[in-house]
Structure 1
């Protein structure tokens, strides 16, 4: 099979759809978390674990999803993993006990892992440099719409039909995505089945891990985007249990996070030529650091309210939109021949950071304390990783 070329517009639309699988599956579910504690007669920790196992499955499975897309093609790998995602969604929707819910969420995470990996790989297959960053920025603009609507849809589904309806929505989303890939997505790489051999697989990841340009760019994303994933395990309990929002109000309130990410993506599109790559990255990281400091201080000094919690989150989200396209492009650039594996490693580190942040938050116990401790640390880790990335790039040049 030879690779084909998709238009920039079609690639952007398909890339955005694939990228949203993971965040939407997380966002649409969060309003139901306190309700699930009651429905299954379990603890907050057990329901938080349902997010953690999703993150864990998502993060680890990417390490296979990327190489499988290199070996068998982007389309075949995507369709296979989306089938797994649909099966996991059905298990969760029909779960008679919390153990089945956990299993369904794990399987969902494994299936959803293909989305972010393949969406980045198909861009790298056909574009590079500023052109690739422009496409990824447009993907970011479109990406903001899905996660923004996710909590709102989840809250409405919960109010109208109960928690099972949320997982039915995921089944529908999985089927719709599969049909889109089957009908509209071209194969953008030449499959090479030798890449899936254990020796070649280990060699590819060894090459990527040994390259600090790839590793540190992944850690930048692990800090800032990983913080978005990690805080999803805390915000429902902070805003619903401590601030007093209803699940529907929480769903609408999360529009603030996605709305500022959307605004940041639009602002970057308008300012990209004026700022350049380094200017955009530094401005974004400055905002990320400012937001992280605001989170830590507000938790310590202010009685929690919607604005004291979500205001700093909005600042971070705006900054992340400036950082993500350029640092992703930089991480994929050094090794185009194994773009799927590079995208998988970057995605793994990004999701693993979110998973570990959620685990540490669960160990701390109190969601508000965890939010004010874990999230600032991750934002500052992102800044430190960028400084290390600059050192590695200068060294390689």
Structure 2
């Protein structure tokens, strides 16, 4: 860990770009709905569009990072990210805003793919899990700080100020990475073309370990984004809190992600990735169940929402680094491809959940049911998926 100290700060900023892009404007979503003259559910699509483009964009950057190295695709993604934030800042209707968010996700995903690939380049096994957990614990500052900043910007300026802030952040990050990020990709590079890329993705997707960890990581992301996409409507519109106070409450929940990441880092030295991921999934299931019970008995109260969500968030923080590390561990110079496919599945699943929840009037009970279902299915997955992975593993070995 000590020798990776210089990379740690850069990796945290790269990975934190996603949380910052999602969380900073959450306090402004009710005001955005009014400004764009659309329903809160329609404004919720700005989260879904970002997540979807973030998900599928990773499938592009993964092979590029394996072919051209880590730096060049990252810098291209940052350029797209800058343009996208300017489009969002100047948007005057929902269509332009959605287009800007689509481009924003396409640019931001480069940071996530490359950060994970760099970790795989420089650290293996439990060391990689601990490094990812360290990055995640530091990265948790983004969802703590971002909604607080966003709430203040919304209160004193307008929703556009959040996107201007992201323009400045993106420009500063681009300059820093251009001068400070070393190339870590292995000398042997993957061929680039439709055939080789398709075969690489197919080979990765068939690996039993990849399937197991990607499913658990995807379900954890679904649970977290179910809360992220509905929290503004629940807390601001439903419970009557102001946007700046909402930002503080959201940030308080994000503190639990940091705590969970720190605990996961400690546990990674004593537990294998499978055990750590399943333990975190259990916490997600319990948190969702407590939310359902509390909401049914006591109604929509802030502590009924946030206390169970704290347990859920700590569970997600434990699952995420273990799932990332476990999914990429079997792959060497295909780390970018494995990272991209893992991330794509996680965020497509999260986008589907947020889109489905946008169709309903969500209260604490409905949110709790969604979270508990994610955790319960994750706990059942080892038995449900064991036969499938055995069959796939036999086919891969025979090939």
Asked whether 1:21 is paired with 2:23, we answer no
1:3 maps to: none
Is the 8 Å Cα contact of residues 229 and 354 (structure 1) preserved in structure 2? yes
SS at match of 2:97: helix
Deviations 1:96-125 (Å, cap 9, x if unpaired)? 112111111111011011121111100111
2:340 maps to: 344
Asked whether 1:136 is paired with 2:139, we answer no
1:43 maps to: 39
Please, what is the CA RMSD of the aligned residues? 2.2
Deviations 1:335-394 (Å, cap 9, x if unpaired)? 222110100011001111110001110223445564233222222233233556777489
Is the 8 Å Cα contact of residues 212 and 389 (structure 1) preserved in structure 2? no
Aligned residues: 392
Is the 8 Å Cα contact of residues 67 and 196 (structure 1) preserved in structure 2? yes
SS at match of 1:232: helix
Residue from 94, 104, 118 that aligns with 1:122:
118
- Residue 279 of structure 1 deviates from its aligned partner by 4.8
1:32 maps to: 28
C-alpha spacing 1:375/1:308, structure 2 compared with 1 (3 Å): same
Deviations 1:2-39 (Å, cap 9, x if unpaired)? xxxx9411222222111111111001011100010111
Asked whether 1:238 is paired with 2:234, we answer yes
Is the 8 Å Cα contact of residues 229 and 351 (structure 1) preserved in structure 2? no
Report the Cα distance in structure 1 between the residues aligned to 2:231 and 2:379, rounded to whole angstroms.
23
SS at match of 1:324: helix
Deviations 1:63-114 (Å, cap 9, x if unpaired)? 1011111111110000001110111100000111121111111110110111
Residue from 312, 317, 320 that aligns with 1:316:
312
Report the Cα distance in structure 2 between the residues aligned to 1:227 and 1:65, rounded to whole angstroms.
26
C-alpha spacing 1:369/1:104, structure 2 compared with 1 (3 Å): farther
Residue from 66, 84, 96 that aligns with 1:70:
66
Report the Cα distance in structure 1 between the residues aligned to 2:190 and 2:263, rounded to whole angstroms.
43
SS at match of 2:240: coil
Is the 8 Å Cα contact of residues 11 and 123 (structure 1) preserved in structure 2? no
- Residue 147 of structure 1 deviates from its aligned partner by 1.4
- Residue 195 of structure 1 deviates from its aligned partner by 2.7
**Further displaced range: 216-225 or 273-282:** 273-282
Misfit runs of 4+, over 6 Å: 393-397
- Residue 317 of structure 1 deviates from its aligned partner by 1.1
Report the Cα distance in structure 1 between the residues aligned to 2:39 and 2:304, rounded to whole angstroms.
27
Report the Cα distance in structure 2 between the residues aligned to 1:42 and 1:285, rounded to whole angstroms.
36
Residue from 251, 257, 268 that aligns with 1:255:
251
- Residue 282 of structure 1 deviates from its aligned partner by 4.0
C-alpha spacing 1:169/1:191, structure 2 compared with 1 (3 Å): farther
1:166 maps to: 162
C-alpha spacing 1:48/1:371, structure 2 compared with 1 (3 Å): same
**Further displaced range: 29-38 or 387-396:** 387-396
Is the 8 Å Cα contact of residues 58 and 341 (structure 2) preserved in structure 1? yes
Mapping for residues 103-252 of structure 1, pairs under 5 Å: 103-190=99-186, 195-252=191-248
C-alpha spacing 1:176/1:393, structure 2 compared with 1 (3 Å): farther
C-alpha spacing 1:248/1:171, structure 2 compared with 1 (3 Å): same
Give 5+ residue unaligned stretches, structure 2.
none
Asked whether 1:82 is paired with 2:78, we answer yes
Give 5+ residue unaligned stretches, structure 1.
1-5
Is the 8 Å Cα contact of residues 289 and 368 (structure 2) preserved in structure 1? no
Is the 8 Å Cα contact of residues 121 and 339 (structure 1) preserved in structure 2? yes
**Further displaced range: 183-192 or 172-181:** 183-192
Report the Cα distance in structure 2 between the residues aligned to 1:230 and 1:196, rounded to whole angstroms.
36
Asked whether 1:11 is paired with 2:10, we answer no
